[in-house]
Chains A and B, each alone.
Chain A
């Protein structure tokens, strides 16, 4: 079994993944809704930009985050000046990296589920006196929620596995930014730590498997037109 330090690594990974998912969820949903429902000029470009982290080498994403959130970066300078905080070498930075990397996966899953909502039902609701907001809260959101949750779980799993962007952006600080994959990487550099690599890898595979199964079950539920609410 795991010792206290190793549990600490798992806990940190869950914290980073959880926060990354929670913060990314509304952003991903808004983007998914925009892509599914609104026609606007430059949509192709926005769509491509959202999907960039999926194809760009993670080290590049990490480096771009470093430029943006570094002390001289536009966001980093602003955070420092207004709040006196930095995300460099902090778990918050790891969560940002994980969130950015998970975003395209989440947007994809959510977009599909929003597109699957029958617009004819929404039209029926309009004729019954519901304005656009009521239609959104009473139909679009509840009908797409299984897919939204599936996307969130997928994003969570992706966040826990994030490596390249994280190590580039916030480095590999034990207890602060050293999540499961980073800890496994460190253990691999260390002679005689095979057992540790095994244990952490098993946890990693186990968590991913649970998340994927959960996501798949939710997706099927969405496909059947059933509802979790």
Chain B
């Protein structure tokens, strides 16, 4: 199983709970805003602590059974809704921030994302689509064991969406990383998800 999630979390007036067992490929959490989908990703990434439950990814327990692995040791490749690039670092430094060892994959990854010409730019000069591709590259270069995508297309126009969509499919089919993605767009859910979980 790629993801085995059984969690509960009270956030203000909302009770977020999810039980999920997902195999290979991409699992999409689909549903309206405010259902706590992003909170689920934050809990899998270790940024938010569930009130109770278990999170197991690829057979390794990240939370539960008395364990709570800190986010920096979970090796989640997290792509947020906003790119969250570090504004005081150029694109290259952003990409290298999470690199663990010698990255011979650097050229491959910036190549398929088409961001090789952006390396010396500052994040504030990038378009939304460029910033999001850099964010995906940065997440992939940290050698993640799985990818968390939080509405990575929502801030982009149609043409840019297609670029990112292709990149995500490449990650799913070629790099074969387990993906947990949040969206409220049925079309995206259909296209990316090997399975869709309604929340």
Interface residues of A (CB under 8 A from B): 120-121, 123-131, 138-139, 142-143, 225, 227, 229
Contacts and interface: CB of A to CB of B under 8 A. Distances in A.
B172 interface: no
B88 A142 contact: yes
B71 A123 contact: yes
Contacts of A142: 88
Interface string B36-71: 000000000111000000000000000000000011
Interface string B103-142: 0000000000000000000001000000000000011001
Contacts of A229: 88
Contacts of A128: 72, 97-98, 138-139, 142
A225 B86 CA distance: 11
B74 interface: yes
Interface of B: 45-47, 70-78, 80, 82, 84, 86-88, 97-98, 100, 124, 138-139, 142, 148
Contact of A126 (B46, B77, B148): B46
Given A121-B86, A225-B87, A129 B72 contact: yes
Nearest to B93: A138
Nearest to B97: A128
A130 B72 contact: yes
B47 A123 contact: yes
A127 B71 contact: yes
Contacts of B84: 120-121, 124
Tell me whether chain A's interface is mostly helix, strand or loop, or mixed.
helix
Given A121-B84, A121-B86, A225-B87, A127 B74 contact: yes
Given A130-B97, A131-B72, 4 more contacts: A123-B71, A127-B76, A127-B139, A128-B138
A138 B80 CA distance: 20
26 contacts: A120-B80, A121-B84, A121-B86, A121-B87, A123-B47, A123-B71, A124-B80, A124-B84, A126-B47, A127-B46, A127-B47, A127-B71, A127-B74, A127-B76, A127-B78, A127-B139, A128-B72, A128-B97, A129-B73, A129-B100, A129-B142, A130-B97, A138-B86, A139-B86, A225-B87, A227-B88
A162 to B, nearest CB: 34
